[in-house]
Structure 1
Amino acid sequence: MKKKINVCLIGMGRAGMIHAKNFATRINHGTLVAICDPSQEALAAAEKELGVMATYTDYREAVLAPTIDAVVIVTPTIYHKEIVLAAAAAGKHILCEKPLAMNEAECDEMIAAAKQHKVKLQVGFMRRFDESFQQAKAIVESGEIGDVVLVKSLTRGPSHPKPWMFDIRNSGGPIGEVNSHDFDTLRWFTESEVANIYAIGGNYRSPEVQADYPDYYDTVSMNLSFKNGMIGAIDGAQYVQYGYDARVEILGTTGNIMIGEQHKQKIVTATRNGQLIRPAMHSWTYLFEDAYIREDQAFIEAIIHDTAPLVTGQDGKMAVKLVNLGLRSLLEKQVVYAE
């Protein structure tokens, strides 16, 4: 394998631009050579900012370009499968943002295609590349907190839901939109698969959509049992308004680990009326900026050294499975058992 990997970014939205900027300037042995998006407006804006020479409006044309070695897919989930299959058939290595696909069957097709065409398939769970998460993983593996008993993870986003998110058959609600990362976090730290899951939730911040979308929920709490006996807890929420919030606790038999905090900066202002003010974390793009760089670098290293990605297609598939199980439990109001 050559020592310089040429990358095409497919999907020029907010997350797409994070990866694009990384590959344009920050990734060793990897470089952004092309971008692709069906929107001419999005392409023009990205081209101006990134300075790339090659642009495409059709991913089918992009993956056939001989100058491209790998693609990063940051499109709506509904398009992931068809792009991954096309890229794999063209011999391009693939970094696909989460969720990997709409369902497990699609994931299986994508994993099989990558294996058949001997290309890497990495899934975009960037938290595994965050320095604090990796340190916590090393501490767990060292036995410093004893045996893991309970892993709790939460993700809460500040933004008002987009109109399409109110239909949870399309969006999955918080379970699909924000908790994919939490499912992957729990699987990573427990090193086990889920045996059963129970979810409860409600719509507390958008009562105006209740009549049109009676199943919509903006807050969810889930309890999980793992096949190795460990237990887990996840909560997710949209439109919390106070800031972006992602935290984890790992409880062992002899200690615990806390990852994350709500604060953006290590500065506290004391005011004359006796208040202490500290800015809250405002965005996942800021909180996980370094993790995205590490994730993109790891993708290139896996290609160059022909090693397995840290986050595999199977990891992506299991997160998709848990999202669907969690949503089913919420709607059926009962414990759901994994097969």
Structure 2
Amino acid sequence: MSIHVEQAIIHAITQNKEGQLSCRLRPQPLLNGTAVEAMVDELHQTYSSKAGKGFGFFGVNGDDGEANPAFKDALQSYLSNELGFVEFSASAGKLLQEELSKYDFSQGGFLLLALYQHMATDYLFVALLNAKSSMTVLDDMELTQNDHLDLANLQLAARIDLTEWQRDSESRKYISFVRGRAGRKVADFFLDFMGCVEGINAKQQSKQLMQAVEDYVAEGDLTKDERQECRNRVFEYCQEQVETGIDVQLKDLADELAESGMESFYDFAVQGEYELEENFPADKSTLRQLKKFSGTGGGVSLSFDSTHLGERVIYDPVSDTILIKGVPANLKDQLDRRLKSN
């Protein structure tokens, strides 16, 4: 496995018939080392592959939303050996119960806290997991129903990069979190319970990077193929950073483009009005536009490689039309059959 679990524990937050929430605390860490390692490894991979994560930091009184410092204080007490892991987790469980009690929509769940290492980095993973029913066939071929943790459906989860937080307390991105399906608002209560406020916006930084790249290649004396090669290098570098969980480094990215013979991309980016951080987490879905155009609306979906623009795909902004030369074979077959039936 790619991770090493130091500590892990689960507490249950349940709701009674009157709708009141209570937190049932586990008195000791999870003991089954093999099962715990497998579970945390699966959650790590599932979480890392989640697109569009948000990034933030522990707020203090006076920040937006007047962040509650209780979770941060308890975590600091654990890291300084003033609290045990079980005591810290119990404090977190009670804080989450109190936060959930402010809302009508909550049904509770299982609060998982896992402290683990991956690639020489210490993380604290925090998630509110739900149970999911499934059917099992017993030895006598009889069916039985049981519940299991729904590890694949991570909707309320955050990961704290403890190494970065302890190394750079001024960082604004050492906490990452899953954005809800309808945007950040869905997960507000989960971030509030941890006292997390949003810091660096990965999507916005990626948009700014993409604009900087487009301006950069436009200023150079490059052919169409050379411009696209620059875009491809940027995308491939950022994709590798996302897959390994490492931030984009502007200076390293500039090195990837150094062979173009143009002005240093680093100098170009920092001197422009792009407001790019020296390093930031990339949003792969945004940067994919360097290689592919896509859009959906009004019952129409369209996607094509950016290399086709101006050749197989002709866009006329004045008439608001797109001309496609060489219709894909499977689409052509569908259209031909429909024309014949009409």
TM-score normalised by L of structure 2: 0.26
Larger RCO: 1 or 2 (CA < 8 Å, sep 6+): 1
TM-score normalised by L of structure 1: 0.26
Larger radius of gyration: 2
